Amino acid sequence: MRENIKRITRDNYGIIIDKLEKLEGGFRNHCFKAKSTRRVYVVIVYKREKNIKQVIENAHFVAKYLSKNGFKTRIPIKDKKGREFIKYQFDDGYHCLALYEYIDGVTIPWEAYTRRHLKSIGKTLSDMHSVLNLKNVKKTLDSLPIWKDITRREIKLMENYFHEVEFWIEKKLEIQINLREVNKLFNDLNDLLNENYNNYILHYDFVRGNILFSENLDERLDIYPVVGILDFEKVCIGPKLADISRTLAFLIIDCKYKKEKKVKNRFLISGYEKRGKEELNSKDLDDVRLQKLMKFFWLRDFWKFLLHNPYEFLYMNEHYIRTRDRLIKSGLIDRKNSSN
């Protein structure tokens, strides 16, 4: 793949790549740091999916819009024919490939979260929502998916999946899905989804691996500023509460050494509300609604762990363990004589 990438960048972009380094991150995408004599780039070879071209176009639209409004995002570099991505046949079939500007900054391990990182994440998400309020976006894409449609599809898929694998989850993982509580949660979510408040473009994956921080403290705001926002493949249109709860649910799992209440206050109150540009309303601060959505996201992450990993290896994944334990605490999963 590396030699193919060098050939593609040379023939299509006129850029000679001297060194390629594999980057972590990007679910099933292949990401590389590409160095030429003059500049540094990022090359992404995208996963093979039926609608991947539309996903890339949606991601580029939102990334470029945020860039024009002062945010640092990966901007696609056009090839000699003016294309933002190209299709190329690799050994395992055709993939879309795109070349991007490189962004300096660091991702942090989950042990490294400080109150200043949490406040910075909240502030940046708030600032993004202020810009991505559809009242402020003059032109958007009809192809941007709708959050409530995505969620309804995922609920249906989860319902079917949990019924199909109920026996094996209990046998191999020594846990049991509390289907009564899960169905109650899904019913409650359907009530929320029926509300008509799809008024923001959401990042919908604003989590640690997609956030680059400065290592220099902003003393005035008392934060480590976010200097790069990555991976816009999950962008959609919906309520900002979906974005807020998605990020907060991830932070609660990710922040191993911090209490849930402190994580919430530093992200949502000190960061999003006090330091960000977007205001919170009563629906955003309704803890019942927020808790229901976070339970959904924990269950959704749990479902995806099961989908994409052999059950036998899940005990080696600390993020899975912490998500599982949070679901047990929430009553959506019951433990079955497990010592883990």
Residue 335 to residue 340: CA distance in whole angstroms: 10
pLDDT in tens, 56-66: 999 999 999 99
Task: Pick the range with the lowest mean pLDDT from 46-55, 138-147, 193-202, 285-294.
Answer: 193-202
Tokens of 308: 């994409």
Q: How many percent of the chain have pLDDT more than 70?
A: 98
**How many other CB atoms are there within 10 angstroms of residue 217's CB atom?**
13
108-121 tens-digit pLDDT? 998 899 999 999 99
Instruction: Name the packing angle between helices 147-164 and 287-308 (round to 10°).
Output: 50
Q: What is the mean pLDDT of residues 69-79?
A: 97
pTM equals 0.94
Report the sign of the C-alpha dihedral through residues 22, 28, 29, 30, in that order.
positive
Residue positions counted in the chain = 340
Give the lowest-confidence range in 137-141, 200-204, 274-278: 137-141
* Residue whose structure tokens are 């055709």: 94
**Chain centroid offset of residue 5 CA:** 26
Which residues pair with residue 229 across a beta bridge? 73, 211
Report how far Cα 51 is from the mean position of its chain's Cα atoms.
Answer: 18
Main-chain phi, psi angles of 252, to 5 degrees: -65, -40
Check residue 337 and give its pLDDT: 63
Q: What is the mean pLDDT of residues 49-55?
A: 93
Amino acid 244: pLDDT: 97
Token pair for 25: 């991150």
Helix count (H) and strand count (E) of the chain?
10, 11
CA angle, 76 as apex, 74 and 78 as ends, to 5°? 160
Task: Write down all domains in the chain, each with its CATH number in brackets.
Answer: 2-101 (3.30.200.20), 110-335 (3.90.1200.10)
Residue 49, phi then psi, degrees to nearest 5: -145, 155
Which run of H or of E encompasses 64? helix 52-68
Parallel, antiparallel, or unpaired for β 226-229 and 236-238?
unpaired
* Structure-token match 């995002």, residue found: 73
Predicted confidence (pLDDT) per residue in 78-96, tens digit:
999 999 999 998 888 899 9
Alpha helices by DSSP H, 14-74:
52-68
Q: Which two tokens stand for residue 88?
A: 């190329």
What is the per-residue pLDDT for 338? 46
What are the phi and psi torsion angles at 145 (to 5°)? -70, 160
Q: Confidence band (pLDDT; 50, 70, 90) for 2?
A: confident
